[in-house]
Amino acid sequence: MPQHAGGSLSDALFSADSVRLIDHYVIGQQGVDGFDLMQSAARAAFRRLVVRWPGVEPLLVLCGAGNNGGDGYLIAANAVRHGLAVRCIAVAPTEKLGGDARQAWQKAVADGVEVQALADIGEPELDSVFETAELIVDAMLGTGVSGAPREPFSGVIACCNRSGLPVLAVDLPSGLDATTGAAEGEVVQAAMTVTFIGRKVGLYTGQGAAVCGDVMFETLNASAGVVESGEAPIAMLRRWESVLGWLPARPANAHKGRFGHVLVVAGCRGFGGAGMLAAEAAARSGAGLVSLATRPEHVTAALARCPSVMVHGLIHGSELPALLDAATVVVCGPGLGQNSWGQQMLQQVVESGKPRVLDADALNLLSSRVVTPARNQILTPHPGEAARLLNCLVPEVEVDRVAAARKLQSLYGGVVLLKGAGTIIASGAEAVDIAGGSNPGMATGGMGDVLSGIIGALYAQTYAQTTEAPARAATLGAVVHLEAACRASADKGYIGLIPTDVIDALPLVFREAEPGSNCSKEGE
Q: Please tell me whether 171 is known to bind a ligand.
A: yes
Distance of CA 169 to the CA centre of its chain: 19
127 assigned to a ligand binding site:
no
384 has binding-site annotation: no
361 is in an annotated binding site: no
Q: What is the pLDDT of residues 130-163, one digit of tens each?
A: 999 999 999 999 998 888 999 999 999 999 999 9
Instruction: Check the annotation: does 274 bind a ligand.
Output: yes
420 is in an annotated binding site: yes
Domain span(s) for CATH 3.40.1190.20 in the chain? 255-437+445-511
CA distance 509 to 503: 10
For residue 194, say whether it is annotated as part of any ligand binding site: no
356 DSSP assignment: E
pLDDT number for residue 523 = 43
| pTM for this model (two decimals) | 0.94
Is 64 labelled a binding residue? Answer: no
| pLDDT tens, position by position, 180-197 | 999 999 999 999 999 999
142 labelled ligand-binding: yes
**Per-residue confidence (pLDDT) for residue 511, from 0 to 100:** 92
65-109 pLDDT, tens digit per residue, is 999 999 999 999 999 999 999 999 999 999 989 999 999 999 999
147 is in an annotated binding site: yes
From-to residues of CATH 3.40.50.10260 in the chain: 9-236
Cα-based distances in Å from 204 to 170, 186, 187: 15, 18, 15
Reply yes or no on whether the pLDDT at 345 is more than 90: yes
- Is 143 marked as binding a ligand? yes
User: Do the annotations mark residue 419 as ligand-binding?
Assistant: yes
The answer on whether 481 is annotated among ligand-binding residues is no
Annotated binding residue at 256? Answer: no
User: Annotation-wise, does 221 bind a ligand?
Assistant: no
CA dihedral sign of residues 381, 387, 391, 397: positive
Q: How high does pLDDT run on average in the chain?
A: 93
Q: Is 55 annotated as a binding residue?
A: no
Average pLDDT over residues 423-434: 97
Q: Across residues 358-365, what is the average pLDDT?
A: 97
pLDDT of 465 reads 61
- 71 labelled ligand-binding: yes
DSSP string, 375-433: TTEEE---HHHHHHHHTS-HHHHHTTHHHHHHHHHHHH-SEEEE-SSS-EEE-SSSSEE
Class of domain 9-236: alpha beta
Transcribe 159-210 into DSSP letters.
HHHHHT--EEEESS-TT--TTT---SS-----SEEEEESSEEGGGSSTTHHH
pLDDT for residue 466: 72
What superfamily does domain 255-437+445-511 belong to in CATH?
Answer: Ribokinase (3.40.1190.20)
Determine if residue 423 is labeled as part of a ligand binding site: yes
Q: Tell which wins on pLDDT, 301 or 257.
A: 301
Contact in structure between 266 and 321 (CB atoms under 8 Å)? no
107 is in an annotated binding site: no
Query: Is 283 marked as binding a ligand?
Result: no
Is 342 one of the annotated binding-site residues? no
pLDDT grade for 230, boundaries at 50, 70 and 90: very high
Calculate helix-pair angle for 272-283, 447-460, nearest 10 degrees: 40
Non-local CB neighbours of 478 within 8 Å, separated by 6+ positions: 238, 417, 423, 425, 433, 435, 451, 455
Is 382 assigned a ligand-binding role in the annotation? yes
β-pair partners for 379 = 358, 416
What's the pLDDT score for residue 517? 46
210 is in an annotated binding site: no
What pLDDT is attached to residue 252?
87
Q: Cis before residue 383, ω within 30 degrees of 0?
A: no
Tens of pLDDT, residue by residue over 1-15, are 333 345 677 899 999
State the Cα–Cα distance between residues 31 and 140, nearest whole angstrom: 27
Give the lowest-confidence range in 25-29, 108-112, 298-302.
25-29
Is residue 440 within 8 Å of residue 495, measured between CB atoms?
no
pLDDT for position 515: 64
